[in-house]
Amino acid sequence: MATLDTQPESVSPAVAEQLKPRWSGFLTNAAVALVIATLLAVSYYPAEVNNWTYLFTDAGNMAVFIGDFLKPDFSDIAIFALKMLETVQIALWGTVLSIVFGIPFALLSSNNIAPVWIVQPVRRLMDAARAINELVFAILFVAAVGLGPFAGVMALFIHNLGIISKLFSEAVEAIDPRPVEGIRSTGAGRIQEIVYGVIPQVMPLWSSFSLYRFETNVRSATVLGIVGAGGIGFTFYESFRGFQYDRASAIIIVVVIAVTLIDIISAQLRKRLV
């Protein structure tokens, strides 16, 4: 009677090598997890995460707060709509200015376009613009040009200049060099290489990045009003500071609807551009 062969089939050395447990990778992941856990533990009290109990111990205050928020007051909806429109206009101008000025800075920040002695100083300048939050810029520009939307426009413009130049330069550095080389072989100058060899390749990505930054700037512009830089943020701050939670709730709903509509429109545009 034939007997079944219960011995495992021989495995090639290459497969056996692949099946071996990778202890080095496991230890690396464990070390990273340990470092993150340690950082969280060390920052637990400095960040006052231990105050999470206040969410439940101050139940009376939370009940009043939530109760008013569940009854939004839309009696001043026309004012809210106008302020939201102003917020969108601030974001639009801040975004467009950052794109217009960000394109040359992006090209000067690209290693495959500009020499290193230009790239490094320009990158450090853009790092500085990106490192400072737009709210800080808003405070500075309110002091410089006064209260109003223009301070918000300038704050978004300077902060996003650093972000746009970073995103755009990364797209430029990832282009296919062959079209540029082909244009160069015809005797074209540096400007022609950029206009006909670089820009057509990066335009879809640049358009997508620009739309995304506009969405983000609309959300950011709603906060700038708190420091007097125009938009609906100041109206929200005044309502909240006056304990008019029902009015503040209505403002939040207006902001959410506006941002959602902009997100839907931007998503459709990105599908056609990328």
Instruction: State the pLDDT at residue 1.
Output: 47
Q: What is the dihedral of CA 28, 34, 37, 41, to 10 degrees?
A: -150
C-alpha–C-alpha distance, residues 174 and 193, integer Å: 15
C-alpha distances in Å from residue 264, one per residue of 24, 211, 246, 257: 45, 11, 27, 11
With CA atoms as reference, report the closest residue to 138 among 232, 228, 238, 235.
228
How far apart, in Å, do the first and last CA atoms of the chain sit? 68
Instruction: State the pLDDT at residue 97.
Output: 94
CATH 1.10.3720.10 given to domain 74-273 = yes
C-alpha–C-alpha distance, residues 160 and 217, integer Å: 9
Kindly report the pTM of this predicted structure: 0.77
For 209, the token pair is: 């990045």
- For the cut 80, the answer to whether the pLDDT of residue 160 exceeds it is yes
Judge contact between 268 and 202, C-beta under 8 A.
Answer: no
State the pLDDT confidence band at 16, using cuts at 50, 70 and 90: low
Helix, strand and coil percent figures for the chain, each rounded to 5: 80, 0, 20
Judge contact between 249 and 73, C-beta under 8 A.
Answer: yes
- For the cut 80, the answer to whether the pLDDT of residue 158 exceeds it is yes
- For the cut 60, the answer to whether the pLDDT of residue 8 exceeds it is no
